[in-house]
Amino acid sequence: MMQTAHSMRGYMRIVIATIAVCLAVNLIAVNGNFRESYFIPVNAQSSQSSNTGTMNSLSLPDLFSKVQNSVVQVSDVVRTINGEGTRLGSGFVYDNEGHIITNNHVVQTDSQNAQFDVTFSDGNAYTARLVGSDPYSDLAVLKLQDVPPNKLVPLSIANSSEIRVGDTVIAIGNPFGLAGSMTTGIVSGLARILPPSSENPSGNSVPLSFPIPNIIQTDAAINPGNSGGPLLNSKGEVVGINSAIFSTTGVYSGVGFAIPSDTINKIVPSLIRTGTFQHPYLGVVGQNITPSLAKQLGLHEERGFLITGITPGGPADKYGLREARQVTSDTGRAAIAGGDIILKINNQDVRKIDDVLSYLEKQTNVGDTVHLTISRNGAIQEVDVVLDARPSPNDIQNVATIQPNLGNSQQSPNDNNDGGNSNDDKPYDQCARIAGNDLCGFFFGR
């Protein structure tokens, strides 16, 4: 999965071969010409659902009638290279206090007093201000101003950990500015990883180097303008928030992605209280143990992930974890030396780096101590690490950008080491360089 962007406020269009994950936001020029926009990234006291089965399922017309007044269109005027345009996205009513949930990339701005127009299904529009946002989960919260209480019909939030592949889901939003559109499909995958954007949409040149874990995959049609709208179960409860698509064209191709409701429940209350959310942070980057890497390291089993980079001053650095280094073998080829391999976190097996990211996001908080089982030079060791808060996008030291390409057996014949033009690379290699072999291998069937 990868993403392309077409943009405003420092957003750039980046086409990576023939693949793209597009954040589903819309841009319409003021002069009336339609323009698609692809963005790199793409419940305070809400009631909880105890299951996501078919009991109490609604017919699709009844479901739409139940939720249509809770789904809104979010818009603001932005400046582009072609003049002013209107950025469109979706959102939904979170509580009776007037909070609206949407995607961070729908409302991302450098303004300290950003305001947005929120339009309900009956056409009535109200001003809302941004009260909190989190680029690392792509979530944001708006607060409506001077809205009549009877307009606020919060959606119930289900437990996304209970959904299963094959469950029916419904997406409601404003694709291409077409308000109140509903599409249906199924959950076609779980525990996906949405890759980080290679460009910070705020205009900051420092990349957002953390993928978003535990993503729901669906074949319900999601298009530009759907971003921030709810993904619902058959009872009309929110199981996710539509965020991105996998596409070669920038529009729906059967693979959409939603941030799960469990992530909403964990992060949104903090956004309302403080405006931010602190993600637990280990401070490592790594590479999954592939067959070729296992052979290089003399391992008998392909599991865990090799630490290839450690953030200076981060938790892993403070507690003595070690990173691999790239050396030259006797034959003159690049080889791996040293480096801890994480095998377990709090006694949970680690098969790949995604397992660590998902566990940290779902099960831990800043200040928690995690117990790591590592392999160091062939010996099993136990290490306790206290988690710090993840650095902000403005402060983060992106060690991933200087991470050596260790053990990657999927290099293109056109790859070289002199900084040559990568546009000649094969699509898989360009995908792997940004999103990793596991993710791109899934889409390319490798």
Encoded amino acid at 200, one letter: N
Residue with tokens 């991302």: 108
Show the DSSP H helices in 241-288 as ranges: 261-274
What's the mean per-residue pLDDT of the chain?
76
When the candidates are 2.40.10.120, 2.40.50.140, 3.90.420.10, 3.90.1200.10, the CATH number that belongs to 20-274 is 2.40.10.120
Beta strands 334-337 and 305-310, pairing class: unpaired
What does the pLDDT read at residue 437?
55
Tokens 């996501």, residue located: 52
Q: What single-letter amino acid sits at 210?
A: F
Give the pair of three-digit tokens for residue 391.
């650095």
**Cα–Cα dist 125/118, whole Å:** 5
Neighbours of 311 (CB within 10 A): 21
Confidence of residue 302 (pLDDT cuts 50, 70, 90): confident
Residues carrying an active site annotation: 105, 138, 227
Strands (DSSP E) along 248-395, which ranges? 255-260, 280-281, 284-288, 305-310, 325-328, 334-337, 341-345, 348-349, 369-376, 379-386, 388-389
Query: Mean pLDDT over residues 49-71, rounded?
Result: 80
Residue 24 pLDDT > 90: no
The count of other CB atoms within 10 Å of the CB of residue 409 is 9
Phi then psi for 367, rounded to 5 degrees?
95, -15
Q: Are 74 and 100 in contact (CB under 8 A)?
A: yes
- Percent of the chain residues topping a pLDDT of 70: 70
Least confidently predicted of 249-253, 282-286, 400-404:
400-404
Q: What letter represents residue 425's amino acid?
A: D
Which CA distances in Å does 428 have to 198, 204, 432?
A: 17, 28, 6
Which one is predicted more confidently, 38 or 140? 140
Q: Which residue has the higher pLDDT, 442 or 275?
A: 275
> Quick one: pLDDT at residue 247?
74
Least reliable range by pLDDT among 23-37, 68-82, 293-307:
23-37
Across the strands, what pairs with 335?
A: 327
Mean pLDDT of 11-19: 31
Listed range (165-169, 194-198, 308-312, 324-328) with the worst mean pLDDT: 194-198
pLDDT above 60 (res 392)? yes
C-alpha 327/C-alpha 297 separation (Å) is 13
The number of CA neighbours under 13 Å toward the Cβ of 131 is 19
Q: Are 430 and 443 spatial neighbours (Cβ–Cβ below 8 Å)?
A: no
Q: Are 257 and 42 in contact (CB under 8 A)?
A: yes
114 contact partners, CB below 8 Å, separation of at least 6: 76, 107, 129, 130
pLDDT of residue 331: 73
- Give the type of residue at 135: P
Which of the four pLDDT bands, split at 50, 70 and 90, describes residue 419?
A: very low
Taking residues 383-391, report their average pLDDT: 94
To which H or E segment does residue 63 belong? helix 60-67
- Looking at CATH, the fold of the domain delimited by 280-390+398-404 is given as Pdz3 Domain (2.30.42)
Whether the pLDDT of residue 389 is over 90: the answer is yes
Which pLDDT does position 119 carry in this prediction?
Answer: 94
**Cα gap 135→127, rounded to integer Å:** 22
3-state secondary structure of 427: helix
Tell me the pairing of strands 83-93 and 20-29: antiparallel
**Phi and psi (nearest 5°) for 24?**
-85, 65
Is-contact 265 157, C-beta < 8 A? yes
Tens digit of each residue's pLDDT (9 = 90 or more) over 142-187: 999 999 999 999 999 999 999 999 999 999 998 888 888 999 999 9
- Other beta carbons within 10 angstroms of residue 438's beta carbon come to 16
Q: Are 370 and 316 in contact (CB under 8 A)?
A: no
Q: Has residue 43 got a pLDDT over 90? A: no
Quick check: 146 and 127 in contact, CB under 8 A?
yes
The CA distance from 388 to 35, in Å, is 42
| Structural tokens at position 13 | 């269009």
Token couple for 165: 């592949």
User: What average pLDDT does this structure show over 328-335?
Assistant: 72
CB 259 within 8 A of CB 215: yes
Looking up tokens 């070690």 gives: 322
Mean pLDDT of 308-336: 84
Q: Quote the CA–CA distance of 149 and 241 in Å, as a whole number.
A: 24
Would you give the distance in Å from CA 369 to the centre of its chain? 25
User: Where in the chain are the domains?
Assistant: 20-274, 280-390+398-404
Helices (H), strands (E): how many in the chain?
Answer: 8, 24
Give dist(CA 432, CA 439) in Å, integer.
8
